[in-house]
């Protein structure tokens, strides 16, 4: 399979960018992920950190990763149904292990489950335009379902949105102590996540994967269009995206993160803006790839992208060790957590660059590929090295 260096770079940016938000999920209570007013001691730096991340990063890098995942499914189609089914089933298993025994913020399980549905749709929809339009429709259905949930929800904030002192103490207890108590809580979180996947988020995720696959079919991800096209696309996409996103961020701030509005209605501007902004980021990379590819940091980030799975799991190992084993959970505010991110990025980059000097792929990627080959019943001679 041919490697597209620009895609490796964009994937590396997505993996590194995801940590900007995930660090909050590791270092603060679950309620803090979307609600900066989860406690009453709100500082100005904390609010501005939340606002900037919400506008420029929240959901954007996850959206970008979902688009790239769909592009990857399109590239994997020639390997056949047994290969894809085995590969995605193993991802589901890995996501379950990661989500239950390591960190409740796992995304691998969701990607594997939706991927098992989407790859068949990619196979059965021959027209690129129809595939793209179907993806857009599915994504909009997911946005609409979120609004429906808002209209029928209780206006009073839930404990997961505005936890009390005992809730925070209990969450700190099971995260630091681990063991069966932590497993039970992560299983509860997994159950809630699967319900959300089936009712709302799954529509959006499937839509993004199909859009990403359609863009791969069209040659857009491969850089087959002119630099002017990508630069023009970036300007249009980012302009539209931030025009939608920034008023939503401002409205949450002015409403003091009121539960029904912030948890449901004002998620819609973020959800609608994210595909525009994510594709705008990608278009910027593709439009200026000739210049970007000359930077040494570009090669380093490409290495991170080639080892996306290994680096995603490495971030979990680092952060769970830092916050749960060293008991730094709830010791930092948003800005303090953000200042830790470059150090973890540096570990990701050094690990990737050094590892790929000696091996053709990351350790988790190799294991995933090896087990897929066994499950699919294909000898190694039938598969390319990359």
Q: DSSP letter for 331, please.
A: S
Q: What is the pLDDT confidence band of residue 2, given thresholds at 50, 70 and 90?
A: low
User: Of 259, 28, 25, which is closest to residue 162 (Cα–Cα)?
Assistant: 259
Cα distance between residue 158 and residue 45, in whole Å: 26
pLDDT of amino acid 40: 75
Cα distance between residue 382 and residue 368, in whole Å: 16
Cα distance between residue 45 and residue 24, in whole Å: 15
Number of Cβ within 10 Å of residue 205's Cβ equals 27
pLDDT one-digit tens code per residue, 129-146: 999 999 999 999 999 999
Torsion of CA 184, 186, 191, 194, to 10 degrees: -160
pLDDT beyond 60 at 262: yes
Q: What total of structural domains would you count in the chain?
A: 1
pLDDT beyond 80 at 386: no
Counting residues of the chain whose pLDDT is more than 70, the rounded percentage is 97
Q: What is the pLDDT confidence band of residue 160, given thresholds at 50, 70 and 90?
A: confident
Cα distance between residue 91 and residue 145, in whole Å: 27
Cα distance between residue 338 and residue 342, in whole Å: 8
pLDDT of amino acid 279: 98
pLDDT beyond 70 at 380: no
Cα distance between residue 225 and residue 222, in whole Å: 8
pLDDT beyond 50 at 384: no
Q: Tell me the average pLDDT across 138-167.
A: 91
Whole-model pTM over 0.85: yes
pLDDT of amino acid 385: 44
Share the mean pLDDT of the chain. 94
pLDDT one-digit tens code per residue, 306-350: 999 999 999 999 999 999 999 999 999 999 999 999 999 999 999
CB 257 within 8 A of CB 36: yes
The range of the structural domain enclosing residue 135 comes to 5-382
pLDDT beyond 70 at 1: no
């Amino acid at each position: 399979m041919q490697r597209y260096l620009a895609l490796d770079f964009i994937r590396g940016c997505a993996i590194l960018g995801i940590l900007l938000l995930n660090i909050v999920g590791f270092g603060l209570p679950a309620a803090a992920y979307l609600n900066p007013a989860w406690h009453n001691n709100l500082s100005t730096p904390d609010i501005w950190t939340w606002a900037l991340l919400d506008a420029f990063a929240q959901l954007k890098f996850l959206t970008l990763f979902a688009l790239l995942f769909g592009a990857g499914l399109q590239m994997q189609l020639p390997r056949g149904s047994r290969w894809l089914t085995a590969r995605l089933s193993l991802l589901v298993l890995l996501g379950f292990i990661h989500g239950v025994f390591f960190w409740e913020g796992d995304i691998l399980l969701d990607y594997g489950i939706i991927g098992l549905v989407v790859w068949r749709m990619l196979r059965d929809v021959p027209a690129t335009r129809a595939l793209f339009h179907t993806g857009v429709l599915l994504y909009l259905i997911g946005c609409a379902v979120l609004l429906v949930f808002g209209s029928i929800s209780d206006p009073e904030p839930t404990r997961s949105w505005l936890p009390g002192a005992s809730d925070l103490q209990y969450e700190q207890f099971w995260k630091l102590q681990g063991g069966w108590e932590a497993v039970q809580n992560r299983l509860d979180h997994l159950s809630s996540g699967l319900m959300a996947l089936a009712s709302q988020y799954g529509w959006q995720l499937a839509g993004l994967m199909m859009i990403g696959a359609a863009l791969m079919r069209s040659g857009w991800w491969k850089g087959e269009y002119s630099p002017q096209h990508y630069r023009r696309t970036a300007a249009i996409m980012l302009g539209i995206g931030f025009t939608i996103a920034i008023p939503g961020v401002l409205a949450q701030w002015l409403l003091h993160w009121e539960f029904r509005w912030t948890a449901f209605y004002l998620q819609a501007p973020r959800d609608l803006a994210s595909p525009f902004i994510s594709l705008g980021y990608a278009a910027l990379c593709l439009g200026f790839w000739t210049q970007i590819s000359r930077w040494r940091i570009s090669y380093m980030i490409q290495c991170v992208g080639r080892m996306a799975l290994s680096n995603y799991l490495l971030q979990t190992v680092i952060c769970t060790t830092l916050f749960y084993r060293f008991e730094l959970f709830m010791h930092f505010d948003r800005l303090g957590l953000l200042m830790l991110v470059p150090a973890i990025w540096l570990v990701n980059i050094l690990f990737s660059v050094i590892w790929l000097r000696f091996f053709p792929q990351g350790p988790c990627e190799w294991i995933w590929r090896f087990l897929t080959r066994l499950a699919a019943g294909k000898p190694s001679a039938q598969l390319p090295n990359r």
